[in-house]
């Protein structure tokens, strides 16, 4: 472990050398190391470009192919449209359930739980993100779906006039709503993490000022924490949306998919999602069908890219304006 810097004598040339070394540009080791760092950074750009490039390259044949050769036989758009519909529908269910829940959880951790246990509780929620999606899928089939069947029957009998619950209720419980609920659990951790972060950043003085004026805890939260965290909540929701849109195996296992478009959330016939459809059909596909699946993957990539990009843009803009990035 000899970290000793080479001893410098008083030779002017040597001093020049030291100055160069300090400025950090001319030294060979420095140049190599800096070069490696830049290359690694560039590799990330190249990878993203590569993902887009190769998906376009392999997906393009499906876009220009004879419509009759594609799965479904009516061209790429009518192949991918129901899938995109199913993807967005499942993700929206997840969002509707998870957004309020994650706000509540984040508030509990940031403002209600005792300080000492708060970080442990946060860790428990984070653990939900660590569980592999295939385990979620099995859990959805074996535990959640059977639990939900009575609820679905009740929904069909009592509020069946709403198209979402028109039924007939699935006997296995493996429905769009179940898939959406599993997705909701899966995206909870990331949304909670973002919300918790922004709630904790609320300026302490504002909180204490409102409490000093006699506000109850909830009034303090409503007047300082929530307005301050609004953009954080929005971007957290969009990050969760991105996750939900791309989730594959859990949905592929839970849903019993077909290629229809239906808004019936509790029936035995469900619209599939892009990702689940790829996972279910890719291993057995060949020829142009593979290209069609890759092209649908490209559509999914573009969709999630836009959602994530928007979320990050909101976070970045918030940082600039609120000065809360300390």
Partner 1 sequence: MSTELHTAAASKVTLKRPSLRPRVVWVIVAGCAATGLVVGPLLGLNRTMSVVLAVVLLLVVLPLAALRVEGARRATDRLVTIVVSVAFSLALLPLLSLLWTTVKYGVGRFDPEFFFSDMRGVLGEGGGALHAIIGTLLMTGAAAVISVPIGVMSAVYLVEYGRGRLASSITILVDVMTGIPSIVAGLFSFAFFAVFFGPSIRFGLGGAVALSVLMIPVVVRSVEEMLKLVPNELREASYALGVTKWRTIARVVLPTAAAGIAAGITLAVARVIGETAPLLIIAGSTTNVNWNLFEDRMAALPVYTYYSYTIPGIPPEFGIERAWAAALTLFVIVMALNLLARLSARLFGSATSR
Scanning 77-85, 133-141, 171-179, 262-270 for contacts with partner 1 by CB under 8 A, the matching segment is 133-141
Span 65-104, contacts to partner 1 by CB under 8 A: 100-101, 103-104
- Is 121 one of the binding residues for partner 1 (CB under 8 A)? yes
* Binding flags for partner 1, 266-305, as an x/- string (CB under 8 A): ---------x--xx--xx--xx--x--xx--x--xx--xx
- 326 is a contact residue toward partner 1 (CB under 8 A): no
The answer to the question of residue 154 lying near partner 1 (CB under 8 A) is: no
Phi, psi dihedral angles at 4 (to 5 degrees): -60, 130
Produce one character per residue of 213-228: b if its CB has 16 or more CB atoms within 10 Å, e if not. eebeeeebbebbbbeb
Q: Which of residues 182-221 bind partner 1 (CB under 8 A)?
A: 185, 188, 192, 216-219, 221
- Smallest gap from Cβ 274 to partner 1, in A, equals 8
Judged by CB under 8 A, the residue of 77, 112, 213, 227 near partner 1 is: 112
Among 69, 172, 312, 324, binds partner 1 (CB under 8 A): 312
Rule CB under 8 A: is residue 133 a binding residue for partner 1? yes
Is 62 in contact with 278 (CB distance < 8 Å)? no
217 pairs with which residues across the strands? Answer: none
Which range binds partner 1 by CB under 8 A, 118-126, 169-177, 205-213, 317-325? 118-126
* Binding to partner 1 in span 33-72, by CB under 8 A: 33-34, 36-41, 43-45, 47-48, 50-51, 54-55, 57-59
Would you say 74 or 219 has its CB closer to partner 1? 219
Using the minimum distance from each CB to partner 1, give the nearer residue, 121 or 263. Answer: 121
Residue from the set 94, 95, 125, 266 that interacts with partner 1 by CB under 8 A: 125
Burial class from Cβ neighbours inside 10 Å (0-12, 13-18, 19+) for residue 171 reads exposed
CB-based contact 182:174 (threshold 8 Å)? no
Stretch that binds partner 1, among 160-168, 172-180, 237-245, 261-269 (CB under 8 A): 237-245
Tokens 């099995």 belong to residue = 138
Write down the least CB distance from residue 30 to partner 1, Å: 5
Residues 8-27 that bind partner 1 (CB under 8 A): 8, 18, 21-22, 24, 27
- Of positions 63, 81, 128, 223, contacts partner 1 by CB under 8 A: 128
**What backbone torsions phi and psi does residue 73 show, to the nearest 5 degrees?**
70, 15
């Amino acid at each position: 472990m000899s970290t000793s810097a080479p001893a410098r004598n008083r030779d002017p040339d040597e001093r020049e050398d030291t100055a160069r070394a300090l400025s950090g540009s001319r030294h060979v080791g420095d140049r190599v190391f800096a070069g490696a760092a830049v290359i690694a950074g560039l590799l990330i750009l190249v990878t993203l470009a590569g993902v887009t490039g190769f998906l376009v390259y392999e997906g393009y044949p499906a876009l220009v192919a004879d419509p009759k050769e594609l799965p479904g036989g009516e061209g790429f758009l009518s192949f991918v449209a129901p899938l995109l519909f199913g993807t967005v529908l499942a993700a929206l269910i997840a969002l509707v359930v998870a957004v309020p829940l994650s706000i509540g959880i984040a508030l509990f951790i940031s403002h209600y739980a005792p300080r000492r246990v708060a970080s442990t509780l946060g860790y428990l929620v984070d653990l939900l993100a660590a569980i592999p999606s295939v385990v979620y899928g099995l859990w959805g089939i074996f535990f959640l779906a059977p639990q939900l069947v009575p609820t679905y029957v009740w929904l069909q009998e009592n509020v069946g006039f709403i198209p979402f619950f028109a039924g007939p209720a699935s006997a296995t419980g493996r429905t769009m709503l179940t898939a959406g609920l599993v997705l909701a659990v899966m995206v909870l951790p990331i949304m909670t993490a973002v919300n918790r972060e922004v709630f904790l950043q609320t300026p302490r003085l504002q909180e204490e000022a409102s409490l000093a004026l006699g506000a109850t805890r909830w009034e303090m939260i409503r007047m300082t924490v929530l307005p301050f965290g609004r953009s954080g909540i929005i971007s957290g929701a969009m990050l969760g949306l991105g996750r939900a849109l791309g989730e594959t195996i859990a949905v592929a296992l839970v849903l019993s998919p077909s290629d229809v478009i239906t808004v019936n959330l509790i029936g035995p016939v469900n619209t599939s999602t892009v990702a689940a459809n790829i996972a279910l059909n890719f291993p057995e596909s060949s020829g142009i069908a593979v290209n069609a699946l890759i092209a649908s993957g490209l559509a999914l990539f573009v969709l999630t890219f836009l959602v994530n990009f928007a979320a990050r843009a909101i976070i970045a803009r918030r940082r600039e304006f609120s000065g809360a990035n300390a």
